[in-house]
Amino acid sequence: MSTAEIGTKISYLKDTFEACGDIVFKPVEINNNTGFLIFLSEMIDHKALFEIEQGFFSYKYEQMQGKDIRSIVRERYPFSSVLESDDTKSMINEILSGRTVLLFKELDIVFSFVTTNSTSRRIDEPRTERTVRGPQEAFIESIDTNLMLIRRKVRTPSLKVEYLTLGKQTNTKIAVVFLKGIANDDIVKEVHQRLNRIEIDGVLESQYIESMIKDSPKSPFPTVYSTERPDKVSADLLEGKVAIFIDGTPFVLTAPALFVEFLHSSEDYYDGSLVATTIRWIRFLGLFVTLILPSFYVAMVSVHQDLLQTPLLLRLAANREALPYPVLVEGIFLILTYELIREAGLRMPKPLGGAIVTILGLVLIGQATVQAGIIGPVMAIVVSVTALTSFILPNYAFHQIIRYCGIPILLLAGFFGFMGILVALMFGLAHLVNLRSFGVPYSSPVSPAQREGWKDVFIRAPWWAIETRTPGVAVENVRRAGFNNYPQKPNNNDEQGGSHK
């Protein structure tokens, strides 16, 4: 490329960044070659930039004789990268990413230096997926730091990281991560195809990607799992799943996702088998309580009163004698009130939110409405228990969906009683069975039934008994462990040998 063409590239960059006061074109001269250091002043580490300039200035003229610019820069900065001089898009992306580009007028060479200033927050505890036992670290908004957290746990060259960029205006960095030899190659290709189809101006959070790559977009159930825990993502990678990292968000997507996965917690794998299994059954109970307890109460009181024992029926009738509204209206009112209080608590300033929500929700709204005779005390107890049990579900997105799915079931129960609840559950179950997540049945390994996978569904079997990965997810390498992991006592010869030593 001629000097005129290089000058045209510099002029093009200056025109592109016109009126961008934070883009700096700093002239430098090396071995009688004039160039420009181009960088984004708000995103670079000025100390690193100063060291680069000092490195050039400290180079003696005698040391430059007989050497071209490429060898001089390579010798001084071995970690710099060389860009194609005609690839203007790459230069722009490098500059906007916080790197410094060195471009010469006289030479067909473009260098890029790592000068990015790390201003992201420190690694902290998970906020939405807390555990008592296990790692206490969460992802942050830096994709490089998040990948480092995974590399620190999964130390194998089989862990592959493939980058791409999405968003015409944001140019958001995306990383597709999987374990070669364990992940299904067809699922990896499908992830890339769905990501490459996306055309959007900007990607600011993982939900942008999730909503455009999920199966059955009209379904309320999430078919892509989102988490902020590195140990959860590492475990999914070892299961053969594919992880999608998005720069600028602490939530990582994993696919394919299974329905039972949303009822599991990372802590299940850090506790003993008996404790983890018991807690899982409690979560299943919490799922059903959250979904149908208000509907069950409304159906019993408004439609199936003949099923109640006479003392209980008389007591409920006495409590509801002076109430102005039907029990269905009470239930809808209390659920909507709870949602309003919860949303207000999330949006209020942190120093004020907890105290104000407690006073308004418990005292002024809860107790006052019962004493005023607007709602019944039993309905208030039912909705309170439902709100409490909903937080048993470990995944926040799934917790929201289950809470809102209870509203249409409540309406059907108010009009049709138990028949409305059964019809709603049948339609919901049929919908779950028909869902797919990147080609994998959403209800697997329950439907289709794969008994080997049941060791980590209804129970959490001991680690020595879980010899294979989740069936249907990891096709390339299903076995995860050997056959001799069952704890065994040492024989007499081993004990004697050990004591002799």
Phi, psi angles (nearest 5°) of residue 21? -65, -15
Domain boundary among 201, 224, 257: 257
Domain boundary among 409, 424, 441: 441
* Winning range, highest mean pLDDT, from 58-72, 278-292, 461-475: 278-292
Cα–Cα distance, 120 to 140 (Å, whole number): 8
CA-to-CA dists, residue 306 to 301, 382, 415, 419, angstroms: 9, 20, 16, 15
Contacts 24+ apart (CB under 8 A), 270-274: 270/131, 270/133, 270/134, 271/133, 273/459, 273/460, 273/461, 273/462
Nearest to 237, CA basis, from 185, 162, 174, 159: 159
Give yes or no: residues 243 and 365 share one domain. Answer: no
Give yes or no: residues 292 and 437 share one domain. Answer: yes
Q: Does residue 129 fall inside a structural domain?
A: no
Asked if the model's pLDDT at residue 495 lies above 60, the reply is: no
Cα–Cα distance, 224 to 242 (Å, whole number): 10
Q: Does residue 200 fall inside a structural domain?
A: yes
Q: What is the pLDDT of residue 436?
A: 92
| CA angle at 358 for the pair 354 and 363, rounded to the nearest 5° | 165
Q: Does residue 184 fall inside a structural domain?
A: yes
Q: Which two tokens stand for residue 491?
A: 């024989």
Q: Does residue 163 fall inside a structural domain?
A: yes
Cα–Cα distance, 165 to 246 (Å, whole number): 10
Give yes or no: residues 282 and 373 share one domain. Answer: yes
Q: What is the pLDDT of residue 305?
A: 84
Give yes or no: residues 103 and 155 share one domain. Answer: no
Average pLDDT over residues 39-53: 82
At position 307, the amino acid (one-letter code) is L
Nearest to 292, CA basis, from 331, 254, 318: 331
Q: Does residue 423 fall inside a structural domain?
A: yes
Phi, psi angles (nearest 5°) of residue 432? -65, -40
Give yes or no: residues 100 and 240 share one domain. Answer: no
Would you mind telling me the total number of residues written for the chain in this entry? 501
Strand ranges, E, within 141-215? 159-166, 172-179
Average pLDDT over residues 66-70: 60
Question: Helix (H) and strand (E) counts for the chain?
Answer: 18, 12
* DSSP state string for 13-30: HHHHTTT-TTEEEEEEEE
| H helix runs in 129-175, sequence order | 143-153
Q: Which two tokens stand for residue 424?
A: 């709603």
Q: What is the pLDDT of residue 365?
A: 67
Domain boundary among 441, 476, 493: 441
3-state secondary structure of 160: strand
pLDDT digits (tens, 9 = 90+) for 192-224: 999 999 999 999 999 999 999 999 888 999 999
Give yes or no: residues 36 and 157 share one domain. Answer: no
Give yes or no: residues 288 and 417 share one domain. Answer: yes
Nearest to 401, CA basis, from 280, 298, 499, 257: 257
Q: Which residue, chain included where needed, has tokens 């039993």? A: 378
Q: Does residue 109 fall inside a structural domain?
A: yes
Cα–Cα distance, 31 to 56 (Å, whole number): 9
The total number of structural domains that make up the chain: 3
pLDDT band of 70, cuts 50, 70, 90: low
Which residues are 25's β-sheet partners?
38
Q: What is the pLDDT of residue 4?
A: 52
Contact 198, 207 (CB under 8 A): no
Strands 110-113 and 172-179: unpaired
Q: Does residue 132 fall inside a structural domain?
A: no
Give yes or no: residues 185 and 249 share one domain. Answer: yes
The C-alpha R_g of the chain, in whole angstroms, comes to 30
Contact 34, 105 (CB under 8 A): yes
Cα–Cα distance, 383 to 295 (Å, whole number): 10
Give yes or no: residues 184 and 241 share one domain. Answer: yes
Give yes or no: residues 328 and 369 share one domain. Answer: yes
Contact 457, 447 (CB under 8 A): no
pLDDT digits (tens, 9 = 90+) for 397-425: 898 899 899 999 999 999 999 999 999 99
3-state secondary structure of 247: coil
Least confident of 17-26, 182-191, 491-500: 491-500
Asked if the model's pLDDT at residue 173 lies above 70, the reply is: yes
Q: What is the pLDDT of residue 251?
A: 94
Q: Does residue 465 fall inside a structural domain?
A: no
Give yes or no: residues 16 and 151 share one domain. Answer: no
Percent of the chain scoring above 90 in pLDDT? 32
Least confident of 186-195, 202-211, 323-332: 323-332
Q: What is the pLDDT of residue 341?
A: 79
Which residues are 40's β-sheet partners?
23
Angle of the 327-347 helix axis to the 350-358 helix axis, nearest 10: 160
Residues 6+ apart with CB under 8 A from 165: 93, 171, 172, 173, 174
Asked if the model's pLDDT at residue 56 lies above 90, the reply is: no
Q: What is the mean pLDDT of the chain?
A: 83
Cα–Cα distance, 375 to 323 (Å, whole number): 7
Residue 171 backbone zone (phi > 0: left; psi -120 to 50: alpha; other: beta): left
Average pLDDT over residues 305-326: 81
Q: What is the pLDDT of residue 317?
A: 80
Contact 296, 417 (CB under 8 A): no
Give yes or no: residues 364 and 408 share one domain. Answer: yes
pLDDT band of 237, cuts 50, 70, 90: very high
Q: Which domain holds residue 101?
A: 3-113
